[in-house]
């Protein structure tokens, strides 16, 4: 019997964009479109495929341990989690930028090596950027949401976060001070599945590669 | 007793009872298998001077090493793997390498890995080193031994993927890529990151023809057929030679009758600096990481002042156990016979136990 191939998708918009993309190469999952369904795992019996939704940062974990063969997740999460997976495709949606942001007045503080405080949901990315690229000493404060508050209530000098349109920043008088890297959705693959199931997996990757 | 005293630090754990019995059984079977191939046992120290595991010879970044300072202020390291230690030992004690040397080891290794990723910091490793033989027969022997060891303990679904760094290096050389770009490209290709590799090569100004050849390395993994297309795509002698060596290796592996478990991956480029030509990794369902890795490391002995070709592999027993459990492999359990006695008939019970023990049975005396 053929093994199921499993996709782990991020809850939310990314999942729908992924399904749209998969439909273009003939992979459907009607079950998943039914919003009233309370199922956690969705199956396409004809193609022997399974799908499930998970929280973003957990997607690379499911893929690393082989609970899912494929995953679709933002580059920001991949950089933060640093898991042993194959990152095979840039799906070129979910585009945004990882940036250092803050009030205009903080710009000065990034020019010297003076110690500053950085609030972020991405402590690893922030640490790597300031320590290894900028060689600036920083205190990193991990926050779990509404990171923009950091500079406003003077918890931190700057923040490291993803910026999509920049409207939240603008409304709060914050600006992008430095860009760390561009971010977009990536297709990731479990290393064992890739090695043990090369034909099926290559077929899906190459199919997607042609249309992104 | 305070409850806080009962904890073990993160990344280490107690293994006891049936679980440990199973692990020991697996280790026994594998050690016997190594013995059947004529490998002699060797034991090296658990910690050694930092330089033995330093960047030039090491496998593990310095920040992931457990370090100790001795009374004189020397930095010492808990071994993250066996190969550098065994190699140092060979350079020190084995002066005559006119005949190939076959050594096998067994013990725990230590890496101070990032926390909360579900990985153990202390694991048991077993492996072999075949030193002083530069032929493909040596490579085939170690790969076949790895496969037969895994089969002997009952693992069924696994695959050894073999790569050859020289293929990639030849293609880089032909494309005229500088060392810096080559290093970055190596990372992208070992992660099978096609778009990353493409961007890098466009930025480096590599011609489209060479770019496509290099990007194609990403697709060169799978069964033996991929070697044929790899050979077709190769545009230089070095790469062609690399593929030819793999084809010859495959032929010998067929004689060993293990080809069923073998696949190839020319995009597999180990981050380990010391591997020089072929490398291989063993993948099994149910485990997040590879359960065995190995390859040829012809330059490592030179670092210790004694140049000699060498090939070897290491199995991570704890990950192998996880794979065996996932694949529901059967491991024989030793049953223990209870002989019951009371204050009056102890002598009879003891006599009975003695007879059984002489027959090789496990017996425990139980007082009622």
Q: What is the 3-state secondary structure (H, E, C) of B134-177?
A: CCHHHHHHHHHHHHHHHHHCCCCCEEEEEEEHHHHHHHHHHHCC
Q: Tell me whether residues A87 and B290 touch, CB distance under 8 A.
A: no
Rounded CA gap, B266 and B338, in Å? 56
**Based on the domain organization, do A57 and A134 belong to the same domain?**
no
Residue spans of beta strands (DSSP E) within A55-206: 70-74, 86-90, 96-102, 116-120, 138-142, 158-163, 175-183, 185-189
Contact present, B37 and B145 (Cβ < 8 Å): yes
Q: Which two tokens stand for residue B44?
A: 């090296």
A66 contacts in B (CB within 8 Å)? 285-288
Q: What is the pTM of this model?
A: 0.85
Question: What pLDDT is recorded for position B273?
Answer: 60
| Count of structural domains, chain A | 2
The answer to whether the Cβ–Cβ distance between B286 and A90 falls below 8 Å is: no
Task: Decide which of B217 and B130 is more confident.
Answer: B130
A176/A199 same-domain check: no
| Cβ contacts of A211 on chain B, cutoff 8 Å | none
Structural domain spans, chain B? 1-157+285-334, 159-257, 336-367
Alpha carbon A171 to chain centroid distance?
25
A10 and A86 belong to one structural domain: yes
Could A192 and B287 be called an inter-chain contact, meaning their C-beta atoms sit closer than 8 Å? yes
CA gap B96, A150 in Å, rounded: 67
Owner of token pair 């005293």: B5
Looking at the fold, whether A35 and A104 belong to one and the same domain comes out as no
The kind and range of the H/E element at B314 are strand B310-316
Same domain, A16 and A90: yes
For B340-359, write each residue's pLDDT tens digit.
999 899 999 999 999 999 99
Using CA atoms, how far apart are residues B214 and B205, in angstroms rounded to an integer? 13
* 3-class DSSP assignment, residue A146: coil
Share of chain B above pLDDT 70, in %: 96
B193-197: average pLDDT: 84
For residue A61, what pLDDT is reported?
A: 92
The secondary structure of residue B277, as a DSSP letter, is: S
Least confident of A53-57, A207-211, B276-280, B331-335: B331-335
- Domain interval for residue A192: 5-94+184-211
Q: Pull the structure tokens for residue B176.
A: 């005229």
Q: Say if residue B178's pLDDT is above 90.
A: no
**Taking CB atoms and an 8 Å cutoff, what residues of chain B touch A86?**
191-193
Q: Tell me which of A47-51, B22-26, B51-55 is least confident.
A: B51-55
Residue B170 has pLDDT above 70, yes or no: yes
pLDDT per residue over B47-66, tens digit each? 999 989 886 666 788 888 99
Note whether A84 and A130 are same-domain residues: no
Among B64, B119, B283, pick the best mutation site for testing chain A contact (most A Cβ within 10 A).
B283
Taking alpha carbons only, the member of A197, A185, A184, A193 closest to residue A63 is A193
Please tell me whether residues A119 and A193 are part of one structural domain: no
**pLDDT-derived band at A33, boundaries 50, 70, 90:** confident
Q: How far is CA B327 from the centre of its chain?
A: 20
| Res B119: pLDDT | 77
Helix/strand/coil for B189: helix
A51 and A155: one domain? no
Span B218-244, average pLDDT: 91
pLDDT band for B125, please (50, 70, 90 cuts): very high
Residue B286 has pLDDT above 90, yes or no: no
Judge contact between A84 and A210, C-beta under 8 A: no
Chain pair A-B, CB pairs under 8 angstroms: 51
Record: contact B192-A88, CB cut-off 8 A: yes
Instruction: State yes or no: pLDDT of B115 exceeds 70.
Output: no
Would you state the pLDDT for residue A134? 86
| Cβ pair B293, A191 in contact under 8 A | no
The side-by-side arrangement of strands in the sheet containing B47-49 is B47-49, B75-78, B67-69
Same domain, A34 and A58: yes
Mean pLDDT of chain B: 90
Q: Do A87 and A126 have their domain in common?
A: no
Strand order in the sheet with B40-41: B40-41, B101-110, B122-131, B310-316, B292-296, B278-284, B158-164, B262-265, B221-222
Say which CATH number the domain at A82 has.
3.40.190.10
Contact B338, B364 (CB under 8 A): yes
SS3 of chain B: helix, strand, coil, percent, to 5: 45, 20, 35
Handedness of CA B206, B210, B211, B214 (dihedral sign): negative
Q: What does the pLDDT average to over A108-133? A: 90
* Cβ atoms within 10 Å of B164's Cβ, excluding its own: 28
| Chain A residue at shortest CA distance from B287 | A65
Q: Are residues A130 and A190 in the same domain?
A: no
- Decide: B214 and B172 in contact? Cβ < 8 Å: yes
Do residues A149 and A173 lie in contact, with contact meaning Cβ atoms separated by under 8 Å? no
Do residues A103 and A174 make contact, with C-beta atoms less than 8 angstroms apart?
A: yes
- pLDDT tier at B154 (50, 70, 90 boundaries)? very high
Q: What is the CATH number of domain B1-157+285-334?
A: 3.30.930.10
CB-based contact, A131 to chain B, within 8 Å: no
Which pLDDT does position B235 carry in this prediction?
85
Query: What is the mean predicted confidence (pLDDT) over B199-206?
Result: 88
Q: Pull the structure tokens for residue B164.
A: 């050859």
Q: Are residues A156 and A176 in the same domain?
A: yes
pLDDT confidence of residue B56: 66
């Amino acid at each position: 019997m053929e093994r199921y191939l499993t996709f782990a998708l991020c809850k939310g918009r990314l999942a729908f964009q992924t399904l749209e993309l998969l439909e273009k190469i003939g992979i459907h999952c009607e079950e998943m479109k039914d919003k009233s369904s309370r199922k956690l795992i969705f199956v396409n019996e004809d193609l022997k495929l399974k799908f499930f939704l998970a929280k973003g940062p957990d997607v690379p974990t499911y893929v690393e341990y082989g609970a899912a063969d494929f995953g679709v997740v933002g580059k920001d999460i991949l950089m933060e989690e640093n898991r042993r997976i194959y990152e095979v495709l840039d799906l070129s949606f979910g585009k945004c930028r990882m940036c250092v942001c803050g009030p205009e007045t903080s710009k000065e503080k990034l020019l010297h090596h003076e110690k500053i405080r950085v609030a972020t949901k991405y402590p690893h990315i922030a640490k790597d950027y300031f320590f290894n690229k900028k060689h600036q000493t920083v205190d990193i404060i991990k926050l779990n949401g509404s990171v923009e508050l950091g500079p406003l209530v003077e918890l931190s000098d700057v923040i490291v976060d993803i910026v999509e349109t920049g409207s939240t920043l603008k409304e709060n008088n914050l600006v992008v001070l430095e860009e760390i890297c561009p971010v977009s959705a990536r297709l990731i693959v479990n290393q064992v599945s890739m090695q043990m199931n090369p034909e099926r997996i290559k077929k899906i990757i190459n199919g997607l590669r042609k249309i992104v | 007793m305070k409850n806080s005293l009962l904890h073990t630090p993160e990344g280490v754990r107690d293994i006891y009872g049936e679980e440990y019995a199973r692990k020991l059984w697996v280790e026994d079977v594998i050690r016997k298998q190594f013995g059947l191939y004529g490998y002699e046992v060797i034991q090296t120290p658990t910690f050694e001077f930092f330089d033995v595991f330093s960047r030039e010879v090491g496998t593990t970044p310095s920040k992931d090493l457990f370090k100790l300072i001795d009374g004189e202020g020397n930095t010492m390291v808990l071994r993250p793997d066996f190969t550098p230690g065994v190699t140092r030992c060979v350079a020190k004690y084995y002066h005559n390498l006119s005949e190939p040397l076959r050594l096998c080891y067994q013990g725990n290794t230590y890496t101070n890995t990032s926390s909360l990723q579900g990985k153990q910091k202390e694991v048991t490793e077993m492996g072999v080193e075949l030193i002083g033989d530069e032929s493909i027969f040596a490579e085939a022997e170690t790969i076949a031994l790895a496969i037969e060891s895994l089969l002997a303990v009952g693992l069924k679904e696994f695959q050894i993927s073999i790569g050859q760094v020289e293929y990639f290096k030849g293609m880089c050389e032909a494309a005229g890529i500088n060392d810096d770009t080559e290093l970055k490209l190596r990372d992208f290709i070992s992660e099978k990151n096609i778009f990353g590799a493409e961007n890098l090569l466009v930025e480096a100004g590599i011609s489209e023809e060479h770019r496509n050849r290099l990007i194609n390395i990403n697709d060169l993994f799978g069964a033996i057929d991929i070697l044929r297309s790899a050979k077709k795509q190769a545009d230089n002698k070095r790469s062609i030679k690399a593929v030819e060596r793999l084809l010859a290796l495959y032929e010998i592996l067929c004689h060993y009758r293990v080809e069923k478990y073998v696949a190839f991956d020319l995009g597999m480029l180990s981050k380990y600096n010391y591997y020089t030509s072929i490398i291989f990794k063993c993948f099994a369902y149910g485990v997040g990481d590879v359960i065995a890795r190995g390859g040829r490391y012809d330059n490592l002995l030179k670092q210790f002042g004694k140049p000699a070709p060498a090939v070897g592999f290491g199995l991570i027993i704890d990950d192998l156990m996880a794979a065996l459990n996932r694949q529901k492999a059967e491991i024989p359990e030793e049953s223990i016979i209870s002989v019951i006695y009371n204050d009056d008939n102890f002598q009879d019970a003891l006599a009975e136990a003695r007879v059984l023990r002489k027959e090789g049975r496990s017996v425990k005396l139980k007082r009622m």
